[in-house]
Amino acid sequence: VIHLSDTRPLHPARGGCHSVSAVGSGVCREARDGAYVMYKEEAKVRHAGTGKRIDKQEEPEMRIKVKATQVTCIEGTTTGQCKTGKCISIGADNVCTDCGKAGEVPINGKCVAYNNDLVTAAGCTKSSGDLDDQSTTCGKCTGTNYFLHKGGCYAQATPPGQTICQTPGSTAGVCETCSADNGYFKNPDAAATTDSCISCGDATGVTIGSTNTKTYKGVDGCAKCTAPNSILGDTGTAVATCTECNAELYLKTDSTATPTTSCVQKDGCSGGFFPTTDSTANNKKVCVSCSESSKGGIAKCSACELLPSTTRASTVLISCSACSSDNLSPLKNECMTTCPAGTYADSNKVCTPCHTSCSSCSDAGESSCTACYPGSVLSYGSDTTKGTCIKECTGAFMAHCKAGGCTLDVGGSKYCSRCAAGYAPIDGVCTAMSTGARDASGCKANDGKCTACTGANYALLSGGCYNTQALPGSAVCAAANNGQCQTCANGQQPASGVCPACPAGCSKCSGSSGSQICSECLAGYYKSGTSCVKCSENSTNGSNTITGVKDCVSCTAPTSNSGTVTCYVTQTPTVDPTDPSVNKGGLSSGAIAGISIAVIAVVGGLVGFLCWWFVCRGKA
C-alpha cells in the first residue's frame, strides 16, 4: 500500500539517491559523482489523488524500471577526467583509455586512483612492474574475470566489459570469447599484457611487441567481422574479414586471390562493383561484383552501372559496359562468345552494328560484309574475304542466267542454277566457259550447267561448282573431294555428294527429310521448338507463345521459351532501287498511273466548268 500524501521523497534529489526511508530506497545501491551506479529493483507506483489510499483491485499499475546510467567520459586533467582524444565508445558507453590525471588508471572505463581497491581487484599493473603516482593506464590485468582493453581493465560480468567479452577465460587477464554480435573479434595472440578483443571497426588495431611487431586490426566502418588467422613468424599484419558494415556503409569484398573487405559509401561501389541490398542476408548493404549473376550482375562483366529501378529486370540489376572476356552485347545485358547477327566485335570487344545490309562483317563499312541476310547475296570485291550484300537474283548474279533459272536456295538466298549457252554457274555467277579451258573450279560445262567439278575444294551443287571455303558454297558444304561433298555444313549426311536441305530458316538440322529438327537458325530467325521462325513473327509451341519484334532482323528466343524475343538489330523496310516497278520516290507504277488519271480528271473538269461559265455568261 502506498500513501502518495506521504511527505517522504519518492524521487531522489538532483544528483543523489532515494531516501533510505522512502519507498524505492532499494533501487539505488550507490551514488557516485552525483549519478546512479547500480540499481536492483523496480518501483511500482499507482495513479491516485493526493492522500488517497490505493488497493490492488483499483486502477492499473504504472511500472517504472530504472536502468543503470551509461558510463561517460570527460576530457581534462582533474580527478576522474580523461586525456584529450582518449575517450572512446564501447556500445552505449563512453569510456576513457588514458587518464588525464597522473596516478589514475581506467577501470571499467572510469579513471580511479592507482591505489584504489578497484584497481587491486582488477589486477591492474604496468606490463612489467607496479603502478605508481605517474601511471595513467594499465599494461596488464590479472584479476579474476578481468581483461585488458585499450589501456584499461574491464570486468566481464558488467557493462561496458560485458559488451566486449562474452565469456571470461581460464587464463587470468584474458577473455576467452569475444562478443561477435557486438562487433569484436578475438586477438589470436591474446594475453594478460595485450588486448584480448579487438573492435571490428578498429583500423589501427593492436600491435604486439616493440621491435619485431605483429599487428591485428579491424576494418574502418565495420560492424561485424571474423577474426584473421594468427600471424606466423615475428612480424606482420593481419586484418579481420568484415561481414557487415555500419548502417550507412556498403560492404565491399575485392575479387583478388586473397580477398579483402572494406566499408564504403554508395559511390564507392565502383571499379567492377554495384551497390545493392542482400535479400539473403537481412538486407545488408553490399557492393556486388558486376560478374555475380546470382545477385543481379552479369556473368563475365567487369564494369557496370546500376540500372534505374524502373528498368530493372527481375534478375538483372545492371547495365554492363565491359566484359572480362568474350564480347559485350549490343544491349549491354550480356557477355557473349559470338556477337549476334548484324554486329561485329570492335577493338574494345563491344558488339557494334554492321552496315544495315550485312548479317556479319569485319567493320561498319558497306563493303565489309562477310555474310548477308536471307534474300541477299555477297558480292565480293577485290578482297575475296568480304564484299557488298545485294538483293538475290540481281546484278552480276543474274547476268546470263536463263529465265527462271535463279532457283538454287543456299542459306535462304537464291542463286542461278542454269545459265545461257556458253556459261555455267561458278559460285552462283554465270561464268563464260571457253572451249577447252577451265577455271579453278574445274567445271565441265554442258547446256548452261556444270556436270562435274574437278577443282580442289569445289563441290557440284545443282548444276554449279561451289568453293567450299567461301560463301555461298561454305553455307552448304564444309569439305569436298573430287567434286563430291563429303561434309554438309547443315549437319545432314550427303547422299551421292548432295546435301539434303534443312527446313526454311534452319542453318543446321538433324533427322531425315520430312521429320527434320532444327538445331541452329539463319540470321534473322529464332528457334521455337523444333523449327526456326523470323524474328519479326510470333510462334506457338505447345503452351508456350513467343512474340516477335516488328522489323527485327537479329534476335534470340526468351530463355523460358515464352515471352518476347530479345532483339539486337531492327531494320525499317526500304524501297529497292533496282525494282523497275518502283520510282525513286518510293511509289509503284500503278500508284503513279492512278494519280495521273485523277489529276487528268480534275483538270478536265475544271476546264469544262470554265468553258460553261464563260459561254453561259456571254449569252446572258
Domains of the chain: residue spans and CATH: 1-69 (no CATH), 87-244 (no CATH), 247-325 (no CATH), 328-391 (2.10.220.10), 400-489 (no CATH), 526-570 (no CATH)
Give the per-residue SS3 of 548-564: CCCCEEEEECCCCCCEE
Task: Report whether pLDDT(38) > 70.
Answer: no
pLDDT interval class at 67 (50, 70, 90): very low
Q: What is the DSSP letter of 82?
A: B
Q: Using CA atoms, how far apart are residues 217 and 240, in angstroms rounded to an integer?
A: 6
Task: Report whether pLDDT(3) > 90.
Answer: no
Q: What is the mean pLDDT of residues 479-497?
A: 94
Between 125 and 13, name the one with better pLDDT. 125
pLDDT interval class at 419 (50, 70, 90): very high
Residue 48 Cα to chain centre, angstroms = 64
Query: Hey, what's the cell of 603?
Result: 483538270
Bridge-based pairing state of the strands 261-264 and 250-253: antiparallel
Between 51 and 71, name the one with better pLDDT. 71
| pLDDT at 258 (0 to 100) | 80
Q: How many CB atoms lie within 10 A of CB 315?
A: 11
Whether the CB-CB separation of 175 and 185 falls below 8 Å is answered with: no
pLDDT tens, 213-253? Answer: 999 999 999 999 999 999 998 899 999 999 999 999 999 99
| pLDDT at 4 (0 to 100) | 36
Q: What is the mean pLDDT of residues 427-450?
A: 86
Q: Using CA atoms, how far apart are residues 418 and 421, in angstroms rounded to an integer?
A: 9
Bridge-based pairing state of the strands 544-547 and 563-564: parallel
pLDDT interval class at 519 (50, 70, 90): very high
| pLDDT at 278 (0 to 100) | 87
Query: Hey, what's the cell of 463?
Result: 548444276
Q: Using CA atoms, how far apart are residues 217 and 187, in angstroms rounded to an integer?
A: 9
Strands (E), 180-326: 184-186, 197-199, 206-208, 214-217, 222-226, 236-239, 241-245, 250-253, 261-264, 273-278, 284-289, 301-306, 318-323
| pLDDT at 24 (0 to 100) | 36
Whether the CB-CB separation of 239 and 204 falls below 8 Å is answered with: no
Q: Residues 6 or more apart from 287 whose CB is under 8 A from it?
A: 250, 251, 252, 253, 264, 268, 269, 273, 274, 275
| pLDDT at 19 (0 to 100) | 34
Q: Which helix (H) or strand (E) holds 531?
A: strand 531-534
pLDDT interval class at 438 (50, 70, 90): low
Between 575 and 132, name the one with better pLDDT. 132
pLDDT interval class at 435 (50, 70, 90): low
Q: What is the mean pLDDT of residues 361-376?
A: 96
Query: Hey, what's the cell of 310?
Result: 524502373
Task: Report whether pLDDT(58) > 60.
Answer: no
* DSSP string across 328-372: E-TTSS-EESSPPTTEEE-TTSBEEE--TTEEEESSSSTT-EEEE
Q: Using CA atoms, how far apart are residues 387 and 429, in angstroms rounded to an integer?
A: 15
Q: What is the mean pLDDT of residues 137-148?
A: 96
Q: Using CA atoms, how far apart are residues 261 and 284, in angstroms rounded to an integer?
A: 14
Percent with pLDDT over 70 in the chain = 80
| pLDDT at 13 (0 to 100) | 37
Q: Considering only 272-286, 307-321, 462-476, which range has the smallest mean pLDDT?
A: 307-321
Q: What angle do CA 34, 39, 42 make, to 5 degrees?
A: 125
Q: Using CA atoms, how far apart are residues 465 and 440, in angstroms rounded to an integer?
A: 10
pLDDT interval class at 446 (50, 70, 90): very high
| pLDDT at 513 (0 to 100) | 77
3-state secondary structure of 110: strand
User: Over the chain, what is the mean pLDDT?
Assistant: 83
Is residue 345 classed exposed, middle or buried when 0-12, 13-18 and 19+ CB atoms within 10 A define those classes?
Answer: middle
Q: Residues 6 or more apart from 131 whose CB is under 8 A from it?
A: 105, 114, 115, 119, 124, 125, 138
Bridge-based pairing state of the strands 284-289 and 250-253: parallel
Whether the CB-CB separation of 589 and 602 falls below 8 Å is answered with: no
Q: Considering only 88-102, 372-386, 574-588, which range has the smallest mean pLDDT?
A: 574-588
Q: What is the pTM of this model?
A: 0.69
| pLDDT at 312 (0 to 100) | 74
3 forms beta bridges with: 53
Residue ranges of alpha helices (H) inside 97-256 are 117-122, 161-164
| pLDDT at 95 (0 to 100) | 97
pLDDT interval class at 439 (50, 70, 90): confident
pLDDT tens, 449-461? Answer: 999 999 999 999 9
Q: Using CA atoms, how far apart are residues 530 and 528, in angstroms rounded to an integer?
A: 6
Q: Which helix (H) or strand (E) holds 606?
A: helix 589-619
Alpha carbon distances (Å) from 27 to 15, 93, 132, 266, 344: 15, 21, 37, 47, 81
| pLDDT at 329 (0 to 100) | 97
- Rg of the chain in Å (alpha carbons): 44
Percent with pLDDT over 90 in the chain = 69
Q: Residues 6 or more apart from 209 whose CB is under 8 A from it?
A: 234, 235
Torsion angle of the four alpha carbons 579, 580, 582, 584, in this order, in degrees rounded to the nearest 10: 100
Q: Considering only 85-89, 387-391, 554-558, 559-563, which range has the smallest mean pLDDT?
A: 559-563
Between 38 and 287, name the one with better pLDDT. 287
Alpha carbon distances (Å) from 603 to 599, 600, 610, 617: 6, 5, 11, 21
Counts of helices then strands in the chain (DSSP H, E) = 3, 54
| pLDDT at 573 (0 to 100) | 66
**Cα separation of the two ends of the chain:** 129
Alpha carbon distances (Å) from 272 to 89, 137, 219, 301, 380: 35, 46, 21, 8, 43
